[in-house]
Amino acid sequence: MDKGKRFGAAVFCMMLVCMASWAAAEEQSLEQASNDPTASLLSVALTNQYSGDYHRLNGASGNVLQLRFTYPFQAFGLNNIFRATVPMVTESPSGKNGLSDVTVFDLVTFNEPWGRWGVGLVGLLPVATDEALGAEQFAIGPAAGFVARQSKLLYGVFSQNVFSVAGDDDREEVNASIVQPILNYSLPAKWSVGLSEMNLTYDWEKNDWTSLPLGLKVGKLVKISGHPVTFTFTGEYDFQDDYVGPEWTVNLTVKFLFPL
């Protein structure tokens, strides 16, 4: 499939993602907003991701310390959400460690009675400090998603699509679509449970799903010296074992929230 068809397929999928309407939602709580990728909430999150085993690499393990910065702003009268994800590899099957490729996106969001939807652009920046830690490809593409709210329930879909536009000719191009289902339920005392950040990944170069994880999370919103902070623990298992990748992963996230 050529790039034009891939891009068209990605745009079509995102149009389907955004075509949703539900009953009127209640005002979003801070705990719920912290689990919503479309929420206009300034935050800084630090996540430790440990993978204890890898498909097709017996005995391998890995660890990534990830910094994620989310900044909402307005431009031309529209609500925007800028997000940057910076992964630092501290352990890898290759034995290398250092900075991996950075992912950034800008999402324009629109509020609806049932929740919120958004469209924008996502980019992969080839800034890895070692070739084994990154793709050595600059990739960009469309992003879109929606999140609906019904009382304590939050649900939706978020899609990111990246396609190589420049990079090392000796490396495989990055042409992939990532679909993240969103499901979260608020419990008493600021606890919450739901799906983990399951990035279902379709590789257009391989014409196959290269990652099919299933995971759960539990979170708690607390205040430290009057400042809201969420602690989240997640566990995931990837059922796609045809390719090299983490078999199971556990994450611990500390997210500092700054309500505007």
Domain ranges of the chain: 3-258
Three-class DSSP category at 5: helix
Q: What is the mean pLDDT of residues 79-105?
A: 97
Output the pTM of the full model. Answer: 0.86
Q: What is the CA angle 128-131-132, rounded to 5?
A: 100
pLDDT in tens, 233-245: 999 999 999 999 9
Check whether 182 has a pLDDT greater than 90: yes
pLDDT in tens, 108-162: 999 999 999 999 999 999 999 999 999 999 999 999 999 999 889 999 999 999 9
Total length of the chain: 260
In the block, tokens 């900044």 appear at 71
Residue 92 contacts by C-beta under 8 Å, 6 or more apart in sequence?
A: 62, 132, 133
Three-class DSSP category at 95: coil
* Amino acid (one-letter) located at 122: V
Q: Which of 15, 35, 17 is closest to 219 using CA atoms?
A: 35
Three-class DSSP category at 3: helix
The pLDDT of residue 29 is 83
CA distances from 96 to 49, 74, 159 (A): 16, 40, 30
Residue 24 contacts by C-beta under 8 Å, 6 or more apart in sequence?
A: 113, 114
Q: Which of 152, 235, 171 is closest to 197 using CA atoms?
A: 235
Q: What is the 3-state secondary structure (H, E, C) of 177-243?
A: EEEEEEEEEECHHHEEEEECCCCEEEECCCCEEEECEEEEEEEEEEEECCEEEEEEEEEEEECCCCC
Tokens representing 55 are 């498909």
Tokens representing 61 are 């393990």
* Amino acid (one-letter) located at 174: V
Check whether 9 has a pLDDT greater than 70: no
Task: Kindly write down the DSSP assignment for every residue of 40-61, as one continuous string.
Answer: --EEEEEEEEEEEEEETBTT--
Average pLDDT, the chain: 90
Q: Is the dihedral of CA 126, 129, 131, 132 positive or negative?
A: negative
DSSP 8-state secondary structure symbol assigned to residue 121: E
Three-class DSSP category at 171: coil
CATH architecture of 3-258: Beta Barrel (2.40)
pLDDT in tens, 10-58: 544 544 444 433 333 345 688 889 999 999 999 999 999 999 999 999 8
